[in-house]
Structure 1
């Protein structure tokens, strides 16, 4: 309730001011971090800080959307206009927005603009939630149950304690990587389960409606938190970012990353955004290591793509139909084993727990992305041939021809 009253005070007495944005971060993020300090243990804790971490981003986003709504329209970026709020909400509306039953515990994140459209009945059909929502929500529920079963199976087969057992330490390196990857996927299914079930509830309530597609069919991906196809079949780090925790990623992109243009460097903006998310997660060192590791993997991928693009014949070769299955398989394996290694510092939480398994795997992920690839990239930049620039034909244009063209 403290956060709700604070949100009301900030949005109604300081709307559209830089002070309001600063206060939102100090109060909401500060409240959450104080809670972490007193509530955190060596295990994952399900306490009041669990829904509070969702409400923190929701209320910060609310304040920033109202900040956008008070600006002249010509000074607001198009992507920010979609969520901008010109008229601040009252206390009851803020409470309803913050405590909405299908979005408080684990998400999804959604804007007040979407919530208002939902409350005003804009997503209804003949005054009722559209019938097409029923089957879609059932499918999300079933997917959540399947993920729950897989997670519980994995927790029994490869428990967290296994990574500090002598049996694991005695395994060959390759088998350590394999078991680490299986554990990672099984652990991620815990999050996938929660996202699918809560998203299903939001869809059934009508909040997930997202207009119609080109075929005239209802779309229900308005509050999507898990893209199952990309989550299970994606083969690069872009598909990873786009596949899970979509609401939080959208918040990070629109409310943090895109507002850091003043830094003048995309990579610096990206790294700052990831540090922000690490702080939001809590104080554990593993959070910061994982997000920095994520940053290096994305940079490595962009560098690899740029090398392929500039090397003569490489784009054409990788575009061949018979090559695509191999590139997909390579990408799928690479992102899974890489993410699995990095996730050890997040999933095992405490340094005393994750240090030994990371050490027993020779810090391979850190060495690969922090040292090996950056060095190899610099070598390849100098060694690989480069496409020649396409000559530009300059033609003289007379004043008469110029007038005709205009």
Structure 2
């Protein structure tokens, strides 16, 4: 944060705004509007003046993390004034005791949560400060050291892969004659390989930060069923699921977990009044796109994510309702095909779709995406919806009683193919 020099003044202004809103507008709907104006509005103005042709790493990078944290803080203070209207899980994050200026500054500038996350609530921060994560002797738990080192080493490995890989396959390659002369298959494949190499950058940041968060207690998450310490309280990347997942849900659940959880709790759940789950999901993704910045590519990748998730849910609903399908996919001999084919589909879809995000400017990604014939968008927004309606109208349907028993046979396969 302080590597930004005098630009740290923007963070100090945000801290003052957070103090004024939480202390003088507590419990008012206007506080939510004020928070979005003071933090998200401020961030968007900053993007306008600071953006360049590439992926910008400047004072707006930590400020975008701070934006969600302070908006969440205002919402949690608002919830604390309306406890009687909250569900049990919401009450855990709600804040009755309004923070002072110093506590807000400490919360916003906590050293393992400024540059790359993770997102955490004020109540979580207070538990760390109070030493709730310490052992019975009020000493750091011994199990923290091994867990911290594992995440740090994992982050270093991802960092090395990213640096070596991006030197070998740079962003500029996708606007070269060599790329355009490749076959369609290899253009898709190189896009996918590049995507995975770039993603190692995010994995590296999150794992290194998580290692530090484990040491300072932010990563402590109570005990597991065996009574062992859990250190996944600041986890932004679930490595195994990220590296082996074979459906789009596995990607969403394993990558950027803190931001996804924040969006679910602070945006998606508060859109229940729409009474339309897909609309609420799309609105949440658009919110995240706006938070990233003005570039068209950001909106395209989040809209593509929405299309992929809808297609997945539609496919699973067909499996659940069609006679014999759930049993077929539950067959152990079919599982390898499901795993491999699902993994390939997810990799190529996300790899091609990421071009609009990773290359940032439209002038850099429009050529590569055109060379791939906008195929992922055509598949998920034209071909699949039509094919789904055809299957939905023609496939036989299980009676409700049998559908329930099929889910009991292998509910995980019937609903998630995993």
TM-score for both structures, normalised by structure 2: 0.92
Equivalent residue, structure 2, for 1:175: 186
Equivalent residue, structure 1, for 2:128: 118
The question of 1:290 aligning with 2:301 is answered yes
Deviation at 1:151, TM superposition (A): 0.7
Deviation at 1:389, TM superposition (A): 3.5
Deviation at 1:374, TM superposition (A): 0.6
Equivalent residue, structure 1, for 2:141: 130
Instruction: Return the alpha-carbon distance in structure 2 between the equivalents of residues 92 and 329 of structure 1.
Output: 52
The question of 1:159 aligning with 2:195 is answered no
CA offsets per residue over residues 22-74 of structure 1, 9 Å max, x none? 10011100110111000000111111100000000000000001111111x33
Which of 308, 312, 333 is residue 322 of structure 1 equivalent to? 333
The question of 1:75 aligning with 2:85 is answered yes
The question of 1:353 aligning with 2:349 is answered no
Instruction: Return the alpha-carbon distance in structure 1 between the equivalents of residues 399 and 254 of structure 2.
Output: 37
Which of 47, 51, 70 is residue 40 of structure 1 equivalent to? 51
Alignment of 1:202-351 (within 5 A): 202-351=213-362
4+ runs deviating over 3 angstroms = none
Contact preservation (8 Å) 1:79, 1:254:
no
Equivalent residue, structure 1, for 2:26: 15
Deviation at 1:388, TM superposition (A): 2.5
Secondary structure of 1:109's counterpart equals coil
The more displaced of 338-347 and 120-129 is: 120-129
Secondary structure of 1:390's counterpart equals helix
CA offsets per residue over residues 119-159 of structure 1, 9 Å max, x none? 01111112222111111010100000000111112102211
Equivalent residue, structure 1, for 2:9: none
Equivalent residue, structure 1, for 2:94: 84
Deviation at 1:390, TM superposition (A): 3.1
The 3 A distance-change label for structure 1 pair 348 and 17 is same
Equivalent residue, structure 1, for 2:116: 106
CA offsets per residue over residues 308-342 of structure 1, 9 Å max, x none? 11110000110111111110111111111001111
Instruction: Return the alpha-carbon distance in structure 1 between the equivalents of residues 142 and 40 of structure 2.
Output: 39
Instruction: Return the alpha-carbon distance in structure 2 between the equivalents of residues 390 and 67 of structure 1.
Output: 44
Instruction: Return the alpha-carbon distance in structure 2 between the equivalents of residues 78 and 236 of structure 1.
Output: 31
Q: Which has the larger radius of gyration?
A: 1
Which of 135, 141, 149 is residue 152 of structure 2 equivalent to? 141
Instruction: Return the alpha-carbon distance in structure 1 between the equivalents of residues 121 and 401 of structure 2.
Output: 46
Instruction: Return the alpha-carbon distance in structure 2 between the equivalents of residues 390 and 98 of structure 1.
Output: 52
Q: How many correspondences in the alignment?
A: 390
Equivalent residue, structure 2, for 1:192: 203
Contact preservation (8 Å) 1:7, 1:63:
yes
Equivalent residue, structure 2, for 1:390: 401
Instruction: Return the alpha-carbon distance in structure 2 between the equivalents of residues 186 and 386 of structure 1.
Output: 43
Instruction: Return the alpha-carbon distance in structure 2 between the equivalents of residues 262 and 193 of structure 1.
Output: 38
Equivalent residue, structure 1, for 2:62: 51
Instruction: Return the alpha-carbon distance in structure 2 between the equivalents of residues 225 and 388 of structure 1.
Output: 41
Q: Which runs of 5+ in 1 are unaligned?
A: 392-406
Q: Which runs of 5+ in 2 are unaligned?
A: 1-11, 403-418
Instruction: Return the alpha-carbon distance in structure 2 between the equivalents of residues 367 and 157 of structure 1.
Output: 31
Instruction: Return the alpha-carbon distance in structure 2 between the equivalents of residues 166 and 306 of structure 1.
Output: 44
Instruction: Return the alpha-carbon distance in structure 1 between the equivalents of residues 192 and 181 of structure 2.
Output: 17
